[in-house]
């Protein structure tokens, strides 16, 4: 079994063209509000909570932001990471950000940190994926790893 562990293609160079195409494929429009959210996620190199997003996109009601993020997620533009509460964190998908990575979440405060996908980590994940495939009968195409622990500030 071999997973494609190469870095994601650099779609970030013409990000808005790719986002517009994905939304069009899903029968959706790339509205100004959605563009503002994509830009906010592009500018900040970490997953953002709704509170964080609204500090970057100040003229958007929270309900509109949630609706736009739902469309962006279902269209493969945004990835929602589950948090320790219902709020979650949002980021551009690996493919659109051009950066394959994983996450660790603090079970106490909900802080999310990125983990770079080093070659050593990816080899270990490939072995784990092979084991999971043999035990479940699934064919594994890709992976996302979200680890949960306690951050330095909460220990």
- pLDDT value of residue 2: 44
Task: Give me the residues paired with residue 80 across strands.
Answer: 90
Q: What would the pLDDT profile of 57-115 be if each residue is shown by its tens digit?
A: 999 999 999 999 999 999 999 999 876 566 689 999 988 888 888 888 888 888 888 88
Secondary structure element (H or E) that encloses residue 42, with its range: helix 32-43
User: What total number of domains does the chain contain?
Assistant: 2
Instruction: Give the model's confidence band at 20: pLDDT under 50 very low, under 70 low, under 90 confident, else very high.
Output: very high
Co-location of 68 and 18 in the same domain: yes
Structure tokens at 97: 């950000």
- pLDDT value of residue 11: 52
Please tell me whether residue 78 adopts helix, strand or coil conformation: strand
CATH at 114:
3.30.1490.190
- pLDDT value of residue 146: 84
Q: What would the pLDDT profile of 23-45 be if each residue is shown by its tens digit?
A: 999 999 999 999 999 999 999 87
Helices (H) then strands (E): counts for the chain? 6, 5
CATH at 66:
1.10.10.10
Position 4 in a domain:
no
- pLDDT value of residue 12: 54
Q: State which residues form the domain around 17.
A: 9-99
Co-location of 53 and 35 in the same domain: yes
Position 43 in a domain:
yes
| Cβ contact 61:96 at 8 Å | no
Position 75 in a domain:
yes
- pLDDT value of residue 83: 66
For the chain, percent of residues with pLDDT exceeding 70: 88
Co-location of 55 and 121 in the same domain: no
The span from the CA of 114 to the CA of 112, in Å, is 7
Co-location of 94 and 104 in the same domain: no
What pTM does this model have?
Answer: 0.78
Q: Rounding to the nearest 10 degrees, give the CA dihedral for residues 123, 95, 8, 97.
A: -100
Q: What would the pLDDT profile of 127-142 be if each residue is shown by its tens digit?
A: 999 999 999 999 998 8
Nearest to 89 by CA among 29, 144, 140, 33: 144
Please tell me whether residue 115 adopts helix, strand or coil conformation: strand
Position 152 in a domain:
yes
Say yes or no to pLDDT of 8 above 60: no
- pLDDT value of residue 9: 45
């Amino acid at each position: 079994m071999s997973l494609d562990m190469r870095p994601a293609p650099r779609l970030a160079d013409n990000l808005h063209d790719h986002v517009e195409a994905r939304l069009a494929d899903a029968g959706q429009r790339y509205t100004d509000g959605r563009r503002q959210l994509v830009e906010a996620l592009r500018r900040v190199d970490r997953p953002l909570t709704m509170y964080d997003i609204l500090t970057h996109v100040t003229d958007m009601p929270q309900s509109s932001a949630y609706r736009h993020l739902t469309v962006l997620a279902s269209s493969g533009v945004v990835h929602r990471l589950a948090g320790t509460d219902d709020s979650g964190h949002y980021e551009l998908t690996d493919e659109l950000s051009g950066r394959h990575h994983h996450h660790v979440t603090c079970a106490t405060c909900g802080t999310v940190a990125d983990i770079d996908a080093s070659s050593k980590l990816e080899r270990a994940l490939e072995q784990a994926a092979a084991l999971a495939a043999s035990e479940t009968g699934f064919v594994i195409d890709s992976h996302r790893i979200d680890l949960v622990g306690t951050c330095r500030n909460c220990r």
